[in-house]
Amino acid sequence: MSVKPFHMGWFMEFSPDEWNGPFGGGGSPWSGEFYVEMAQALERACFDLIMAADTLMVSEAYGGSMETYLKHALLVPQHDPAPLAALMASATSHLGIAITLSTMGYPPFLLARLCRTLDHISHGRFAWNIVTTAENHAAQNFGLDKLPDRQLRYDMADEYMELVCQLFDSWEPGAIVMDRETDVYADYKKVHPINYKGKFFSSRGPLNTAPSPYGRTIFLQAGGSPRGRTFAAKYADCIIAIGAGVEGMKSYRDDVLARAAEAGRNPNDIKVLFCVTPTLGDTEEEAQAKHQRMITNPSFIEQSLAFIAGITDIDFSKFDLDKELPHLTTNGEQGSLDMFAQWGSGKKLRQLVIEASGGLLASVELVGTPDQIAERMGEVMREVGGDGYLITSPSMKISRRYISEITDELVPALQRRGLVRTKYTKTTLRDTLKEF
């Protein structure tokens, strides 16, 4: 029986690699060279895309101090992913390049202009990962005392998206004529101010960038809470998701695609990629031993809790690892908190950290040989219904060794089973995502 292939992406940050390990790049990747080489490796493995996360602050959420974050290079230093996207795009020809840009951090006009510019540089392979920003420390870097309420942030983001899309459409198709005989570059009748005036944002327009021959920028979004899922279902071409096991993954995908249909979209136009953190070994015993060494390392536990604290604005240093969490709410990423905490499961905090395996990024446990993991990934996708995976390192830091384990060991095992592509047949990210 033929097996429908699935899509593959990689989640990373423009931050230090595994600087204190034997296979890191030394912890100073600021020229971008390390990540450009990573993008080239993913392209050789026929990945759909690489996605750079981003934050806009140095957190103090864990223990009320920056110490843990700076000590472990956790969420900091973190450089602007936009210039890196241009570097990666120029060094590749098929791989999609997605970066995180905050609706709080960028005025809509500047963001639309940046997206359009990167669309051109990448020849239609750029994607914007939409975030509203969920940290009070980030808000304070932009002149706010604290974040707006989460519901209000999504209301603002809805208006933001409406404005950005109008800016994208402010040049009609065919506006650029480049007519040598009449000495006309662009037809002014096909370029329009939008005069947008909303409750939160306004912009005269039009964009002052050339229209993209590749259409609207590809949108990525990770909606965890009910409101976040509705937002993702309304706008995203590709949804980044975390599911609690196969049942949770299937439930999430079914729910978000139903929301897309309610919004008048074709659910088949949306790809849902689930975050996973494979741990590979030459034997199952070796992989399990590697996994055990990682999850029992006190530094790993501390880093995982600090990471979760950083995105939820909840200080997890206050809670006993060997007790259940009290029920918590946040104005940060409530969906991520709910996924991590598994309310009602009876699990202790230590177990929750172990199951999260590197923050919040493990939808299903993948520990074993490349063939075992490939087989499991295929089984999970068949049960969930699609559409693919977004890989990240279990240790939250990337090494050359881990990149090679995925691209040179796991991907060939997937390819032998017909689960992922063996070559690119499309040139734009939109067409690559729509290929199957």
d(Cα 140, Cα 112) in Å, to the nearest integer?
Answer: 24
Q: What is the pLDDT of residue 397?
A: 84
- pLDDT category, 357, cuts 50, 70, 90? low
d(Cα 235, Cα 160) in Å, to the nearest integer?
Answer: 12
Closest CA relative to residue 214, chosen from 343, 401, 66, 89: 89
d(Cα 337, Cα 359) in Å, to the nearest integer?
Answer: 11
| Domain spanning 7-434, CATH architecture | Alpha-Beta Barrel (3.20)
100-139 pLDDT per residue, tens? 999 999 999 999 999 999 999 999 999 999 999 989 999 9
Q: What is the pLDDT of residue 219?
A: 98
d(Cα 85, Cα 91) in Å, to the nearest integer?
Answer: 10
Helix then strand then coil, % of the chain, to nearest 5:
40, 15, 45
Taking 90 as the threshold, does the pLDDT of residue 359 lie above it?
no
Q: What is the pLDDT of residue 25?
A: 67
Q: Which one-letter DSSP state was computed for residue 171?
A: B
246: number of Cβ within 10 Å? 17
Looking at the DSSP bridge assignments, the partners of residue 176 are 186
- pLDDT category, 361, cuts 50, 70, 90? low
Q: Domain residues of the chain, as ranges?
A: 7-434
Q: What is the pLDDT of residue 26?
A: 65
31: number of Cβ within 10 Å? 10
Q: Which one-letter DSSP state was computed for residue 143?
A: T
Residue bearing tokens 């399990």: 288
267-317 pLDDT per residue, tens? 999 999 999 999 999 999 999 999 999 888 888 889 989 988 998 889 999
Tokens of 218: 């590809």
Question: What mean pLDDT is predicted for residues 394-414?
Answer: 93
More confident residue, 75 or 370: 370
Q: What is the pLDDT of residue 297?
A: 85
Q: What is the pLDDT of residue 72?
A: 93
- pLDDT category, 375, cuts 50, 70, 90? very high
**Distances in whole angstroms, Cα of residue 272 to Cα of each of 57, 229, 230, 232, 314:** 28, 12, 14, 10, 28
Taking 80 as the threshold, does the pLDDT of residue 420 lie above it?
yes
- pLDDT category, 17, cuts 50, 70, 90? confident
219-242 pLDDT per residue, tens? 999 988 899 999 999 999 999 998
Whether 191 contacts 174, CB under 8 Å: no
Question: What mean pLDDT is predicted for residues 180-198?
Answer: 97
Q: What is the pLDDT of residue 395?
A: 74
Q: What angle do CA 106, 108, 113 make, to 5 degrees?
A: 90
Q: What angle do CA 181, 182, 186 make, to 5 degrees?
A: 120
Q: What is the pLDDT of residue 1?
A: 43
316-348 pLDDT per residue, tens? 999 999 999 999 999 888 878 888 888 888 999
Task: Identify the three-state secondary structure at position 103.
Answer: coil
Question: What mean pLDDT is predicted for residues 393-401?
Answer: 86
Among 53-67, 74-88, 175-189, 303-317, the range scoring the smallest mean pLDDT is 303-317
Whether 171 contacts 206, CB under 8 Å: yes
Residue bearing tokens 């559409």: 387
Confidence (pTM): 0.94
Q: What is the pLDDT of residue 27?
A: 63
d(Cα 20, Cα 23) in Å, to the nearest integer?
Answer: 9
Helices (H), 59-198: 67-71, 81-90, 108-121, 136-140, 150-168
Looking at the DSSP bridge assignments, the partners of residue 388 are 7, 273
